[in-house]
Amino acid sequence: MKHLVPLLFLFFFTTTNGQEWKLLYQNDENGKAVFGELIHLKEAVRSGKEVRIAWGFQHPEKAEVRVEHLADATFLTIQSDSIVYAQIRPITGQIPDFNNFQLLLKENLEWIFIGGTSGAMDTMTRNVITGEIVSHKLRTSNFKWFVKD
């Protein structure tokens, strides 16, 4: 019974506050709109809405094997009123092991990411012990942009 009260509070709070993540915009790897209007994403950013970005990759040889990443944007930039960029908090590095269907953490490595509605993505991996930049890669990806509504 003592666990019921916190569960009821959690249920009440999450169902009555009405906030849900909704897909607002999606771009392909070349920056072309696939879903939604960029102006609505810019309005959401400018009005202070929470933004979450999603992207993914497919195994080069096995179409059924893929990873999808989702992260809350912690820093947002609108460049020249035409591109929205989202940066996420650095995370402990990880690498997918497609053969064993698991993710493995990379010891002492931190991964940093920024992605934009242009399809551009910039990532860096840094050794947290030495501070050395281990890799810095520019790539493209399609991105889904969610806002908490």
Give a yes or no: residue 1 inside a domain. no
What token pair was written down for 108?
A: 């002492």
Query: Is 4 within a domain?
Result: no
Give the domain range for residue 76.
Answer: 20-148
In a domain, 6, yes or no: no
Phi-psi region of 80 (alpha: psi -120 to 50; beta: other; left: phi over 0): left
Compute the distance between CA of residue 115 and CA of residue 95 in angstroms, rounded to an integer.
19
Which residue's entry shows tokens 């942009």? Answer: 145
Please give the model's pTM, rounded to 2 decimal places: 0.83
pLDDT at 19: 82
- CB environment 17-27: b (16+ within 10 A), e (fewer): eeeeeeebbbb
Q: How many domains does the chain have?
A: 1
69 occurs within a structural domain: yes
pLDDT digits (tens, 9 = 90+) for 29-61: 999 999 999 999 999 999 999 999 999 988 788
Residues of the chain with pLDDT under 50: 1-16
Q: Considering the domain boundaries, does residue 2 fall inside one?
A: no
User: Per the domain annotation, does 95 fall within a domain?
Assistant: yes
So what's the pLDDT on residue 1? 46
> In this predicted structure, what is the pLDDT of residue 120?
97
d(CA 77, CA 47): 13
Domain-embedded: residue 12: no
Q: What stretch of H or E contains 1?
A: none
Query: What pLDDT score does 121 carry?
Result: 97
Q: Is residue 8 part of a domain?
A: no
Task: Report residue 129 as tokens.
Answer: 């012990």
